[in-house]
Amino acid sequence: MTNTGMQNLLLGVTGGISAYKSVELARLLVVSGARVRVVMTEAATRFVTPLTFQAVTGNPVRCNLFDEEHEAAMGHIELARWADQMLIAPATANFLARMAHGLADDLLSTLCLACSVPVSVAPAMNLHMWQHAAVQQNLSILASRGVNILGPTSGEQACGDSGPGRMLEPVDIMAALGSLSNRGMFAGKQVLITAGSTQETIDPVRFVGNRSSGKMGFALAGAFVREGAEVVLVSGPVVLSTPPGVRRIDVQTALQMHRAVFDNISNVDIFAACAAVADYRPEQPEEQKIKKTSERLVLGMVKNPDILAEVAALEDGPYTLGFAAETENLAENARAKLLAKKLDMLAANPVGDNLGFECDDNSLLVIWPGGEKQLPVQNKRKLAQSLLGVLGQQYQVHVGHTKGS
Ligand code: C5P
């Protein structure tokens, strides 16, 4: 269970169908060691009863600003002072608008003004509402005031539509809060990761691809979040679920991956290139499906940009970690690649004998300009953690040098 490091958490619940998930969220928060007090809007009580939250948190639930009994026990200003952190989940479009415009017409909106602690919101609404310019502008206002926007995610919605607007799952909200709570080896660091393979279009139904599963990159993304980093994961086509707390951008081709990386590279502290990017792409993808009329088919290919090498060449760029899958001469090839691409660190893995692509286990030879470390064969999740241990040490050395220079 993620320990969010929080003590007193004020959980605001507003009136959306995903309010039922906030009961589980409240339970997870309590299990993680937080003291939780719930404040519900009137609309939220139409979906879940205050009694349910009271049973889960062990604390009385407040719904009304003008409740004499509750105000006598803990007045709303006292409640605002009590909180170390505030989380609104779900946050409806209406509530986000009221927050953005500073309304204080019920207890929860009043508390949003009275609390001077970090505030996070987990929006939840229909995809068309989410995409509406009014909602997006309200979110920009809130983000510019330092409100943490957690999610939403995409998928099936209660109304039958499918797309962005689903509230993050409670475990994902927990992970995001954990990474915001400023703890861990990479607390407050921005990390950008590429993962998976790329698919280079031949014609509308065919592509050139490779066997990378994306497991290592996804495991690394999860490990970074658990160590407090904010992680953006640019992923090629994979069949993996996004690790909790990770912002994922899906791409298909190397050129799309290149663009997604450079759109998100500013302020990144660490760039980890785990993706098996296709070195070449068909020069001229056919607009129509190629017919099998001739005996031979020659595919003209052109080189793709080397995303990692370009990031490593940036002035004041991030710390760079590359990967190299090798079928022979692992150590020599790896060291040559570290130098050629001017990387800070390179993790080389042997491919073949049930290691490397498409499998759960791997070993890594981790090298950097001044040393190396062999990480033995293990599950990719554990391997990602071991790799972060090595990376954490070398990154500290790097930051020390950069500051000293
Ligand atoms: O040169 P090679 O492809 O073996 O290098 C592997 C490393 O470079 C990996 O970290 C991979 O993600 C990255 N790479 C890249 N863009 C490419 C090719 C490789 O970022 N076009």
Q: Report CA(246)–ligand 1 centroid distance (Å).
A: 22
Question: DSSP of 120-152, one letter per residue?
Answer: EEEE---HHHHHSHHHHHHHHHHHHTT-EE---
Tokens of 320: 């760079």
Is any atom of ligand 1 closer than 6 Å to the C-beta of 127? no
Q: Please tell me if the domain spanning 8-180 has the same topology as the one spanning 190-404.
A: yes
Q: Which ranges constitute the DSSP H helices of 227-344?
A: 254-263, 307-312, 330-340
List all residues 6 or more positions away from 363 whose beta carbon is below 8 Å from its beta carbon. 349, 350, 355, 374, 375, 376, 377, 378, 383
Nearest alpha-carbon partner for 278 in 250, 217, 234, 236: 236
The pLDDT assigned to 160 comes to 83
63, 112, 159, 274: the catalytic one is 159
Q: Which CATH superfamily is domain 190-404 in?
A: CoaB-like (3.40.50.10300)
Q: How confident is the model at residue 25 (pLDDT cuts 50, 70, 90)?
A: very high
Q: Is 212 in the pocket of ligand 1 (CB under 6 A)?
A: no
d(CA 147, CA 245): 16
Domain 8-180 maps to which CATH number in 3.30.230.10, 3.10.20.600, 3.40.50.1950, 3.55.50.30?
3.40.50.1950
Q: Look at 213 and 146; give whichever has higher pLDDT.
A: 213
- Could you say which DSSP state residue 92 is in? -
Ligand 1 centroid – CA 194 distance (Å): 10
Cα(58) to centroid(ligand 1), Å: 52
Q: Once rounded to an integer, what is the mean pLDDT over residues 330-343? A: 95
- What average pLDDT does the structure give for the chain? 90
Contact at 8 Å (CB) between 171 and 244?
yes
- Helix axis angle, 19-31 to 50-57, nearest 10°: 10
Indicate the helix (H) or strand (E) that contains 28. helix 19-31
Segment 217-228 mean pLDDT: 88
- Domain locations along the chain: 8-180, 190-404
Query: Tokens 């099936």, residue?
Result: 156
Judge whether 159 counts as a catalytic residue.
yes
Q: Is the CB of 23 under 6 A from ligand 1?
A: no
Reported as a single tens digit per residue, the pLDDT across 171-192 is: 889 888 876 665 678 988 999 9
At 358, list the tokens.
Answer: 């498409």
Does the C-beta of 275 come closer than 6 Å to ligand 1? Answer: yes
- Whether 237 and 196 have beta carbons less than 8 Å apart is answered as yes
Residue type, 215: K
